Each structure stands twice: as C-alpha cells, then as structure tokens.
C-alpha cells in the first residue's frame, strides 16, 4: 500500500512540472527548446545523484548484452509523446486531447500487466481488476469530461484528419504506458533504477540538442537565464527526473497499471486544487461535487486493482 501511496504523491508532481515547463516554453518561445532544457536539467540532477551514491553512469558490458536491444531506444519514446501532445490541443481541442491519451494509457497498462509485455510482471486481469478499471474510467469521466461538457466543450469527431489525430492520441497514451514498463524492465536488468533513468534522459537530451540545432531554436537558450524569470521554472526538469525514476523503481513492485492509475489520480487531484486556488498562474475554477465523487471512485478503482 505504501508504494501505491508514493505513486499517488508522484502524481502531485506532474501538474507542477507541466506549469513549470509551460512557463519555460513561454520564456524561450520554443516548445522543443523548453523540452531540451527540461531533459537537460533532469540529466544533470540524475548524474549528481548517481555520483553521490557511487552509481556508475554507464551500464556494464554485461547489461548491454542482457537487456533487449530495443530498450536502449527508450529515450526516444518521450520525444514522440511530447511531439504528439504539442499538436493535440490544436487539432482535437482540450477535452479529447486530455481524455483519449488518458483512457488509452489506463487500458494499455492493464494489457501490459495481463500479458507481461516489455518484461513486466504478469498480473492477470480478473473480475476484480476489471471492475476497478471500469471505476477508473467512470471516475475520469466525472472529473474531466462532464465538467468540460457542461462548459460547452464540444466533441467534434468529423473528418479523416480528426480521426488520424485521435489515433495519434491513442498511440500517445499507449506509449506512455510502454515507456514505464520498458524503463522498469531495464532498471531490473542493469540493476539500478537511477542508472536506467539517467540513460533515458541522456538519450533524449542528445536527440533534442541535435533537433534544436537543426531548427535553430538553440540560440534562444540564453532567454532561460534572464533575471526576471521565476525560479520555479527549473522545477520541470527536477520533477521530471523524480517522476521517471518512480517508474523504474515502483512498477516492478506494484505493476504498470496500478502505478499509472495512482499517478493519474494524484495528477488530477492536485490539478483541481491548483485550479481552485489559482496556484502557479492556473486560472481559478470551482471544484464540483461531481469531481470530488469522481476522485473517490477512482481511488476505489485503484484499491480493487491493487488488492
């Protein structure tokens, strides 16, 4: 139970990370560059932690031999999901951009656990876990979908372009579950969750450096160091490292689905509190009883899936 609670607490970090990265993006006027900065900060933090803990930065030759070849490309997956996410709000609107990846991540994480894909521990989908999954979906609907529909959040499903972007949203959610499973498996193979997480961010950072050099946005890096920038914009990279490390550490202990669902609940809960109180520049919004009940239903769903 304690590990599930830690995953829930890690979910609290996600809205803060999102707010920090969004502010960084406004400052440097480039989504790819803000992503690079976030990844670079994460990499530096993890290297410092590894050095303090006397953990080798590079996996051993035996680890390279034992780990599946595709696990070393794990750092590319977050870049794909980020690229998709950048376009989803514009192409699908806020409602679908949030809900479709969320649902696909929840469902695919259950599939990963059930079949043991990507080196995950097999956790069969029995009736209790199935009921828990249904409760999660009901809870997400009450917390996210219903309030936005009440505020005239229209869902437009027309056109081939919309369908293709909806499929891309499904892919994004699935890949989010996949990266957690692969990272956890890699951490077990090489014997260090810190080392596996460092590998992920190092690969992603190198790829983003190349990309930002090609598109010319790297010249705006100096904008991130302006004196009038709020200090908390650097928290995006720090919290990113903590959240991703949580994947590598906790998934082998509680499974992909429980980790992802607890993370989601924490994310939604703090997001509601941020909107209610206007924290970190979030627009103030009222929290309805429907959303509160939805959170409670989601917690019940996680309890059923875990136990």
* Entry pTM: 0.86
Instruction: Look at residues 165, 166, 179, 106 and name the one whose alpha carbon lies nearest to residue 140.
Output: 106
Q: Which residue has the higher pLDDT, 186 or 228?
A: 186
What digits encode the pLDDT tens for the residues 142-180? 988 887 776 655 555 557 888 898 899 999 999 999 999
Higher pLDDT, 74 or 228: 74
Q: Can you give the pLDDT at residue 98?
A: 79
- Segments forming the whole domain that contains residue 289: 2-306
The model's pLDDT over 230-272, given as tens digits with 9 standing for 90+, comes to: 888 899 999 999 999 999 999 999 999 999 999 999 988 988 8
| C-beta separation of 294 from 139 below 8 A | yes
What is the total count of domains within the chain? Answer: 1
Mean pLDDT of 47-64: 90
- Token look-up 């998709």 returns 84
User: In the prediction, which pLDDT does 26 show?
Assistant: 86
The reported pLDDT for the residue numbered 300 is 93
- pLDDT value at residue 187: 92
Question: In the structure encoding, which two tokens stand for residue 128, read together?
Answer: 């209790």
Which is higher by pLDDT, 279 or 218?
218
């Amino acid at each position: 139970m304690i590990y599930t609670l830690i995953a829930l607490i890690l979910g609290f970090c996600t809205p803060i990370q999102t707010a920090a990265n969004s502010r960084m993006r406004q400052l440097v006027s480039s989504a790819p560059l803000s992503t690079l900065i976030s990844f670079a900060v994460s990499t530096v933090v993890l290297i410092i932690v590894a050095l303090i803990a006397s953990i080798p930065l590079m996996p051993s030759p035996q680890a390279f031999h034992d780990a599946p070849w595709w696990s070393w490309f794990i750092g590319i997956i977050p870049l794909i999901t980020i690229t998709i996410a950048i376009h989803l709000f514009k192409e699908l609107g806020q409602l679908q951009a949030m809900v479709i990846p969320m649902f696909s991540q929840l469902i695919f994480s259950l599939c990963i656990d059930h079949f043991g894909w990507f080196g995950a521990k097999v956790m069969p989908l029995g009736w209790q876990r199935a009921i828990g999954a249904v409760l999660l979906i009901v809870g997400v609907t009450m917390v996210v979908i219903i309030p936005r529909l009440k505020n005239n959040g229209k869902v437009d499903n027309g056109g081939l372009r919309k369908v293709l972007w909806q499929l891309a949203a499904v892919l994004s959610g699935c890949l989010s579950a996949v990266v957690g499973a692969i990272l956890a498996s890699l951490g077990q193979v090489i014997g260090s969750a810190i080392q596996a997480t460092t590998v992920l961010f190092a690969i992603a950072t190198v790829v983003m450096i190349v990309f930002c050099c090609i598109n010319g946005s790297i010249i705006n890096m100096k904008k991130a160091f302006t004196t009038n920038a709020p200090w908390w914009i650097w928290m995006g990279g720090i919290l990113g490292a903590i959240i991703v490390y949580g994947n590598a550490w906790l998934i082998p202990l509680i499974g992909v689905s429980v980790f992802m669902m607890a993370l989601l609940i924490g994310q939604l809960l703090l997001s509601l509190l941020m909107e209610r109180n206007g924290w970190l520049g979030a627009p103030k919004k009222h929290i309805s009883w429907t959303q509160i009940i939805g959170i409670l239903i989601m917690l019940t769903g996680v309890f059923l899936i875990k136990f």
